[in-house]
Amino acid sequence: MTLMKRILVVLLLVVVVAAGTLYWLGTRDDASTGPAVAAADGAAQIERGRYLALAGNCMACHTSRGGKAFAGGTPVPTPFGTVYGPNITPDAETGIGAWTADDFWQALHNGKSKDGTLLYPAFPYTEYTRVTRSDSDALYAYLRSISPVRQANRPPEMAFPYDQRMLLAAWRALYFKPGVQEADPGQSVQWNRGRYLVEGLGHCAACHTPRNSLGATRSGDALAGGVIPVLDWYAPPLTNDMQTGMGRWSAQDIATLLKTGIAAHSTVSGPMAEVVLGSTQHLTEDDALAIGVYLKSLPATPPASDARAAAPAPAAMELGGKLYSQQCAQCHQAHGKGSGTAWPALAGNPTVTAPSPVNAIRMVLDGGYAPATAANPRPHGMPPFGQVLNDNDIAMLVTYIRNSWGNEAGGVSALEVKRARASSTLN
């Protein structure tokens, strides 16, 4: 055997060993919490599971528009293709009627289906792995109690090579390690509860943490904000930076936003409005405040963006100010502080001061409403201006609000508006 052949054999062995190691790491199980334990009060466990399903916003992905609850079919777009939420009603053939509590736990905790198939991380098992076994069993009990729906699951439509599930083993080896979140004994019960909801069941990182080119959240930028792939909305930082994050908010401000969709510093819109409508408004006051307490403990790190805001041109500020006086000041006031809870403040508003201007641009283009919550059943709305103002006008208007009243978020170009208009609901 020649030297070159020997080298090739060694390299092949290295590749085989590396591939085997990655496959083992990516398919390993963690069942350290043991089997399910029967609940002493079945009715209480089911009710607990119902609350957890709301807190985890399960219906968002498992109930299609106009479809039966939890019967699946909701498209979940990703940069790699589209995954469809599966049927999780107790139908024996098309749902999870044949699943055991252990099977359900395996899906949440290990990201595997009943037959061992590796699940795409569009299902946020990367966060759900932190959920306790008792909460997993309560969710399972609740889902077993709802009406079964016979509706076949739609297979994912992934581009090659992402349709090759075996490659998920390598992805998991790099980016996923199963493990229930342990309480921090140095923190309060309230803080630990908030962290559990934020990092586990609420899976906030799925939107508020930027992702790398392979779709994994960047652990070094946890909750530092980022553009939600495909949807073209920006999830603002949940850290405590004074300009772009939650630095000016109190824990109660955060709880109020989660419960009502409105708060002193902002009003939810876009995907977050759907989260409040379907999930967080149903949180108990204690849980909503616990989330606020935990988020307020995060450091004042800057947003996950390498781009520095360019100073706005004086001409843009002048014209933007005129447009603001004509179109916006009646509701948001000349000082940008809004009008109570009816029209939100623009001064210090994270939607306005975010590193990406896309949310502010889309609100000007499309308008919209805060979610109709139990605490705010008839929210005030904002009219769309996309048919009234051209791209250049909107660029200068958004530039003005991003750089007035203490805001220092940089200028906006007409090209950015054009890109946002391309995905506008009114286009």
If asked whether residues 211 and 277 sit together in one domain, one would say yes
- CATH number of the structural domain spanning residue 269: 1.10.760
C-alpha span between 122 and 100 (Å, rounded):
23
Q: Examine residue 140 and state whether it is found in any structural domain, yes or no.
A: yes
Please enumerate, by residue number, every residue annotated as part of a binding site: 58, 61-62, 204, 207-208, 328, 331-332
C-alpha span between 129 and 111 (Å, rounded):
8
Sequence-distant (≥ 6) Cβ neighbours of residue 379 within 8 angstroms: 261, 262, 267, 369, 370, 371, 372, 373
Q: Examine residue 181 and state whether it is found in any structural domain, yes or no.
A: no
C-alpha span between 226 and 389 (Å, rounded):
27
C-alpha span between 138 and 140 (Å, rounded):
5
If asked whether residues 208 and 169 sit together in one domain, one would say no
Q: Examine residue 252 and state whether it is found in any structural domain, yes or no.
A: yes
Alpha helices in 221-284 (DSSP H): 251-260, 270-278
User: Are 361 and 412 within 8 A, CB to CB?
Assistant: yes
If asked whether residues 115 and 249 sit together in one domain, one would say no
Sequence-distant (≥ 6) Cβ neighbours of residue 150 within 8 angstroms: 91, 93, 94
Last residue in a domain, options 175, 206, 231: 175
If asked whether residues 95 and 47 sit together in one domain, one would say yes
Quick one: which H or E segment has residue 382?
A: strand 381-382
If asked whether residues 30 and 169 sit together in one domain, one would say yes
How is residue 272 written in tokens? Answer: 């977050």
Q: Examine residue 2 and state whether it is found in any structural domain, yes or no.
A: no
If asked whether residues 216 and 356 sit together in one domain, one would say no
Please enumerate, by residue number, every residue annotated as part of a binding site for heme c: 58, 61-62, 204, 207-208, 328, 331-332
Tell me the residue range of the domain where 74 lies.
18-175
If asked whether residues 35 and 69 sit together in one domain, one would say yes
Sequence-distant (≥ 6) Cβ neighbours of residue 27 within 8 angstroms: 118, 169, 172
Give the pLDDT of the chain (427 residues) as one tens digit per residue.
554 543 443 344 334 334 444 444 455 566 556 666 666 679 999 999 999 999 999 999 999 999 999 999 999 999 999 999 999 999 999 999 999 999 999 999 999 999 999 999 999 999 999 999 999 999 999 999 999 999 999 999 999 999 999 999 999 999 999 999 999 999 999 999 999 999 999 999 999 999 999 999 998 899 999 999 888 899 999 999 888 888 999 999 999 999 999 988 889 999 999 999 999 999 999 999 999 999 999 998 777 664 556 788 899 999 999 999 999 999 999 999 998 778 889 999 989 999 999 999 999 999 988 899 998 898 888 999 999 999 999 999 999 999 999 999 999 999 999 999 988 765 5
Number of domains in the chain: 3
User: Are 48 and 122 within 8 A, CB to CB?
Assistant: no
Quick one: which H or E segment has residue 77?
A: strand 75-78
* Nearest CA-CA partner of 256 in 241, 245, 267: 267
If asked whether residues 164 and 203 sit together in one domain, one would say no
Q: Examine residue 1 and state whether it is found in any structural domain, yes or no.
A: no
- CATH number of the structural domain spanning residue 419: 1.10.760.10
